A and B are shown apart, each in its own frame.
Chain A
Amino acid sequence: MKFIYQDLLNFLSEKPSIKTLSEKLFQLGHEHKIDGEIFDMEFTPNRGDCLSLNGLARDLNIFFEKVEPFKIFKGDIEPLNLNFKNLSTVTCPKISFLEIEVEAIGILNAYKPYLENYFSISGNNKTNFFTDVSNYISYELGQPTHCYDANTIKNDITFKNTTCNKPFKSLLGSDINLVDDNYVFCVDDKIISLAGVMGGISTACSKHTSKVLIECAFFIPEAVIGKSVKYNLNSDAAYKFERGVDIRAQEKVLRRFIEVVRDHVSIKNIRIQSFEYTEIKKDSIPINVKKINNILGIDLKEKEYLSYLTKLGFNIQKEIIIPSYRHDISSQNDLAEEIARIIGYNNIESKSLELKKKVGRSFDNINRLKLHFVKKGFSEVINFPFTKNKEKNSITIDNPLDSNKSYLRTTLKNSLLDNLLYNERRQKDSIKLFEIADVYTINDNKINQEKKLGIIISGRRGHNYLDFSMKLDDLYMAKLLNKNFDNVAFVVEEISRADLKSKKKDKIFYTEILINNLSDQTFNDLKLDFKSINFIRYKSVCEFPSSARDFSFSIKDINKFDTVIDKLSNLNGKYLKDAFIFDFYKNKKLDEIKVGVRLIFQSDHGTLSDTEIQKSVNEILRLIIDMEGVSVPGLI
């Protein structure tokens, strides 16, 4: 919500700089950005009272005295004899209708500077004169009003709740089918306005409207909440009514409306009619500064406490009377927050806190289990629990993000399989993943929760000369699990590639274990030390393809062997992402040792050409191949 700095200054007796004003707004909890001379405010949802120049100035009154810079119409107003029926006075306990008839609107050439500036600086679009005034009044005083072209309303107006499907065409022209509970204004049973959200096109004002009926109401927030989102009708009115407006503000607002109109065109007639269905109570809270001090941990004197509240508009009598615009205040804790805002959260001194119980966190079994797999080369993944696969005991999401996410998964298998295929597409040839997660199912309306461990493997066993030519398979998985989980029944399943869009030949194996089936002894056998966190600086993952180059070193001078291995184990160079020895062979016949090395290249900036890779290879391996008695057959 945007506020023009100069407009806000008009409501303050002092003229603080934009920086000072910004600091005070932050202290009061009104987050904002500054764009030139505009405060782009983001209010917390409980502060509907601040959604106007007047409201914001009321809150700032604690620092800068508030003034009322605007004129209101003080003359007599003729009564309006409107046939209005309110069939839901609980929802709308107070409402006024003001009818203004003006001389020909066509002669209005330009708006006064305050009105013109509001549109030009804030960037809001002009619509027609009366709607523009309505928008300006809402900006100034926080009370939405709705303008009907009075000539379009010939019969009684009824405010009511409608519960069946009803068509409604908004003043923006959108066709809406109202469903479920809605509060509406009707004429002849046709909806002319969705209460508190937006009026209809059939009664909307135009540039030619010269007789307007202005509705100024108080709707309980519950009647409006969610409607604008539900029907995609974003409006300033809905935003304000959802957060609560001042039930006592209507007369002042309508008189200000008249004044602004009068400031622009000659008025022929003004008539008003107000309906108040319940007595508006004054809510109060006992004066208890001790309680406030106990909540905040401060030592504030009662006189100072009450002085602060007075500046915020609270009326101090035997009790603290809450202003009618402060719907967010109902308890001592609410008042404590007011005091904290005034003092400044950052100015409240910290007081040492030492908890009475000392617990210390034991290294739990799940962490023990995870570290066991990490040590074996597995990486942990976390997946979203949504799936398109429906099982007989699946939990259904009523409002999924999309139809592929309509159920909660009953197994970790599909998520892990997706993770595996994702990495295969990124040229990973040795994949070992696991996930531990809660899985939820439903049986006879009872929700069951189970913690599961899912493990998936495929590809080479490892990137070293012992494992490179061996595959991750069911035997590997069984051996891995049997060693520690010998008391647990598990099934190692081969996942067929037949239905997968994958050209890879490596077999995929998966198993899933219920954590509850693991005994304490199993966990105790996983003797692992706590791993402290290492906050590395993450390097962006490259999405360009990598290229592998294999080299076979022939070492005839055995004395050079250790040097060669040392150098091969510590290779680095341009574009080199990874390097490992994948083959080791003693050729006794030729009295030489063969060492196979794979170099993997990748660039952050694009796909590497053969020339670039070859250049890098030459630089990386030069020191080794220049050694006498060491050669790489085929390498130029």
Chain B
Amino acid sequence: MSSIDNIEPPSVKEVSGSLHPINQVKDYLLDMLADLGFEHVDGPEVESEEFNFDMLNIKKLHPARQMHDTFYTENKSSVLRTHTSPVQIRSMLKSKPPLAFTSAGKVFRKDDDATHLPMFHQVEGIYVDENVTFANLKDLIHQILYHVFGRDVEIRFRPSYFPFTEPSAEVDILSENGKWLEILGCGIVNPIVINNCNIDSEKYSGLAFGLGVERIAMLKYGVNDIRDFYKSNLDFLTQFK
């Protein structure tokens, strides 16, 4: 017969918290791109117009620069970056080709509705070298999307327009319900941007791409409402262990 003195108390497991799902997906993408040879670079979220727009061939009167699209600060002396591309520009100015950078983090647009938030996250990449072609870009995008969505994913490229790439493309994947979902933007770096970074665009060309982290996270986790990521609800956050 056992005595209660011999009874061991129940074991207590250490209950872990959780990393934010957006940061998990961001890091997951960055790790994959590092494996492909991209070096990660960081930069400020409060940016100059020069780096956020001018260097990227976004002209003074481009709609994206309007007050209703971009947050300006301190009497228009700076902006909240609208993409992470300026980080790449800063890094390109300090480097010589071949170069391959990723930049990632928070970006800001003056939006706030059911499907758009004033802050979201991007992961962007740029590769500049001799003889970089659109056919190479397609290969890279396939590598990325196969990694994220599996080898069976059906991918399509569509012509698009970004001031900093030419040709530009948007890439869709075929969802389980048979609908095409826009997943990333990409293109051949506009020679104007290459020249702006003091790199000879006659000799070098580049490819660039950008992924919306929330978009990928919503698809991979099955989250339907983008706003759920930023409610800081523990019932939500602790699911992503």
Q: Do the two shown chains form a genuine complex with each other?
A: yes
Interface residues of A (CB under 8 A from B): 26-29, 31, 44-47, 221-222, 225-226, 229, 242, 294-298, 328, 331, 333-334, 336-337, 340-341, 345-346, 348-361, 367, 370-371, 373-386, 395-401, 405, 408, 418-419, 422-423, 426, 428, 431-433, 438, 440, 442, 445, 447, 449, 462-467, 531, 533-542, 558-559, 561, 565, 569, 581, 584, 586-588, 591-593, 595
Complex CA distance for A431 and B2, rounded to whole angstroms = 39
Complex CA distance for A431 and B39, rounded to whole angstroms = 37
Complex CA distance for A349 and B229, rounded to whole angstroms = 38
Q: Are A359 and B39 in contact (CB under 8 A)?
A: yes
Taking the closest CB of chain A, its distance from the CB of B150, in whole angstroms, is 11
Count A-B contacts at CB 8 Å.
Answer: 292
Query: In chain A, what residue has the closest Cβ to B44?
Result: A449
Known: A226-B61, A358-B37, A422-B233. A379 touches B134 (CB 8 A): no
Q: Are A361 and B40 in contact (CB under 8 A)?
A: yes
Total contacting residues, chain B, CB less than 8 A? 104
Complex CA distance for A569 and B9, rounded to whole angstroms = 13
Complex CA distance for A354 and B77, rounded to whole angstroms = 41
Taking the closest CB of chain B, its distance from the CB of A27, in whole angstroms, is 8
Q: Are A593 and B7 in contact (CB under 8 A)?
A: yes
The verdict on B176 contacting chain A, using a C-beta distance below 8 Å, is no
Complex CA distance for A396 and B137, rounded to whole angstroms = 40
Taking the closest CB of chain B, its distance from the CB of A141, in whole angstroms, is 23
Q: Are A353 and B136 in contact (CB under 8 A)?
A: yes
Q: Are B67 and A352 in contact (CB under 8 A)?
A: no
The verdict on B152 contacting chain A, using a C-beta distance below 8 Å, is no
Q: Are B167 and A295 in contact (CB under 8 A)?
A: yes
Taking the closest CB of chain A, its distance from the CB of B229, in whole angstroms, is 7
Q: Are B220 and A440 in contact (CB under 8 A)?
A: no
Q: Are B15 and A374 in contact (CB under 8 A)?
A: no
Q: Are A380 and B23 in contact (CB under 8 A)?
A: yes
Q: Are B20 and A541 in contact (CB under 8 A)?
A: no
Q: Are A541 and B228 in contact (CB under 8 A)?
A: yes
Chain A residues with CB under 8 Å of B9's CB are 465, 584
Q: Are A337 and B167 in contact (CB under 8 A)?
A: yes
Complex CA distance for A253 and B232, rounded to whole angstroms = 57
Chain B residues with CB under 8 Å of A539's CB are 239
Chain B residues with CB under 8 Å of A340's CB are 134, 159, 167
Complex CA distance for A345 and B165, rounded to whole angstroms = 15
Chain B residues with CB under 8 Å of A419's CB are 232
Most buried by B among A47, A433, A540, A581: A540
Complex CA distance for A172 and B84, rounded to whole angstroms = 41
Chain B residues with CB under 8 Å of A423's CB are 232-234
Query: Would you give 11 A-B contacts (Cβ < 8 Å), ordered by A?
Result: A355-B100, A361-B34, A380-B23, A408-B46, A467-B12, A535-B220, A538-B221, A538-B223, A539-B239, A558-B7, A591-B4
Taking the closest CB of chain B, its distance from the CB of A345, in whole angstroms, is 4
Query: In chain A, what residue has the closest Cβ to B40?
Result: A361
Q: Are A355 and B139 in contact (CB under 8 A)?
A: no
Chain B residues with CB under 8 Å of A592's CB are 4
Taking the closest CB of chain B, its distance from the CB of A458, in whole angstroms, is 12
Complex CA distance for A419 and B235, rounded to whole angstroms = 12
> Which secondary structure characterizes the binding site on chain B?
mixed
Task: Please report which residues of chain B, range 62-76, place their CB below 8 angstroms from some CB of chain A when the two chains form the complex.
Answer: 63, 66-68, 71-76
Taking the closest CB of chain A, its distance from the CB of B153, in whole angstroms, is 14
Q: Are A226 and B10 in contact (CB under 8 A)?
A: no
Chain B residues with CB under 8 Å of A377's CB are 14-17
Complex CA distance for A101 and B52, rounded to whole angstroms = 53
Q: Are B20 and A382 in contact (CB under 8 A)?
A: yes
Taking the closest CB of chain B, its distance from the CB of A59, in whole angstroms, is 11
Chain B residues with CB under 8 Å of A432's CB are 17
Q: Are A351 and B133 in contact (CB under 8 A)?
A: yes
A328-B161, A428-B234 known; 8 other A-B pairs, CB under 8 Å? A26-B158, A225-B63, A295-B133, A356-B37, A361-B34, A398-B75, A558-B7, A588-B5
Chain A residues with CB under 8 Å of B73's CB are 395-398, 408
Chain A residues with CB under 8 Å of B15's CB are 377, 462-464
Query: In chain A, what residue has the closest Cβ to B182?
Result: A31
Q: Are A569 and B10 in contact (CB under 8 A)?
A: yes
- Nearest first, the 3 closest Cβ-Cβ pairs linking A and B are A29-B159, A297-B135, A297-B133
Q: Are A534 and B166 in contact (CB under 8 A)?
A: no
Known: A229-B68, A361-B31, A386-B118. A533 touches B25 (CB 8 A): yes
Complex CA distance for A381 and B235, rounded to whole angstroms = 12
The verdict on B54 contacting chain A, using a C-beta distance below 8 Å, is no
Query: In chain A, what residue has the closest Cβ to B43?
Result: A449
Chain B residues with CB under 8 Å of A354's CB are 37
Q: Are A350 and B142 in contact (CB under 8 A)?
A: yes
Q: Are A336 and B63 in contact (CB under 8 A)?
A: no
Most buried by A among B10, B13, B233: B10
Q: Are B142 and A381 in contact (CB under 8 A)?
A: no
**Residue of B110, B166, B223 touching A399 (CB-CB under 8 A):** B110
Taking the closest CB of chain A, its distance from the CB of B16, in whole angstroms, is 6
Q: Are B135 and A348 in contact (CB under 8 A)?
A: yes
Chain B residues with CB under 8 Å of A352's CB are 136, 139
B189-214: CB near A (< 8 Å → 1, else 0) gives 01100000000000001000000000
The verdict on B115 contacting chain A, using a C-beta distance below 8 Å, is no
Q: Are A350 and B239 in contact (CB under 8 A)?
A: no
Known: A357-B39, A422-B233. A294 touches B66 (CB 8 A): no
**Residue of A353, A399, A426 touching B233 (CB-CB under 8 A):** A426
Complex CA distance for A432 and B224, rounded to whole angstroms = 26
**Residue of B40, B75, B140 touching A353 (CB-CB under 8 A):** B140
Task: Please report which residues of chain B, range 118-141, place their CB below 8 angstroms from some CB of chain A when the two chains form the complex.
Answer: 118-119, 127, 129, 131-140
Complex CA distance for A95 and B198, rounded to whole angstroms = 42
Known: A229-B68, A298-B135, A423-B233. A374 touches B23 (CB 8 A): no
The verdict on B151 contacting chain A, using a C-beta distance below 8 Å, is no
Q: Are B17 and A333 in contact (CB under 8 A)?
A: no
Q: Are A399 and B234 in contact (CB under 8 A)?
A: no
Chain A residues with CB under 8 Å of B2's CB are 558-559, 561
Known: A398-B76, A536-B240, A588-B4. A374 touches B169 (CB 8 A): no
Complex CA distance for A345 and B205, rounded to whole angstroms = 19
Taking the closest CB of chain B, its distance from the CB of A572, in whole angstroms, is 17
Known: A361-B31, A558-B7. A533 touches B24 (CB 8 A): yes
Query: In chain A, what residue has the closest Cβ to B133?
Result: A297
Q: Are B61 and A333 in contact (CB under 8 A)?
A: no
Complex CA distance for A376 and B18, rounded to whole angstroms = 10
Chain A residues with CB under 8 Å of B169's CB are 345
**Residue of B18, B98, B190 touching A333 (CB-CB under 8 A):** B190
Query: In chain A, what residue has the closest Cβ to B236?
Result: A541
Chain A residues with CB under 8 Å of B10's CB are 465, 565, 569, 581, 584, 595
Chain B residues with CB under 8 Å of A397's CB are 71-73, 80
Known: A398-B72, A442-B74, A558-B2. A379 touches B234 (CB 8 A): yes
Taking the closest CB of chain A, its distance from the CB of B35, in whole angstroms, is 7
Taking the closest CB of chain A, its distance from the CB of B114, in whole angstroms, is 15
**Residue of A333, A398, A449 touching B191 (CB-CB under 8 A):** A333
Complex CA distance for A558 and B160, rounded to whole angstroms = 72
The verdict on B30 contacting chain A, using a C-beta distance below 8 Å, is yes
Q: Are B20 and A381 in contact (CB under 8 A)?
A: yes
Q: Are A536 and B110 in contact (CB under 8 A)?
A: no
Chain A residues with CB under 8 Å of B16's CB are 374-377
Q: Are B19 and A370 in contact (CB under 8 A)?
A: yes
The verdict on B238 contacting chain A, using a C-beta distance below 8 Å, is yes
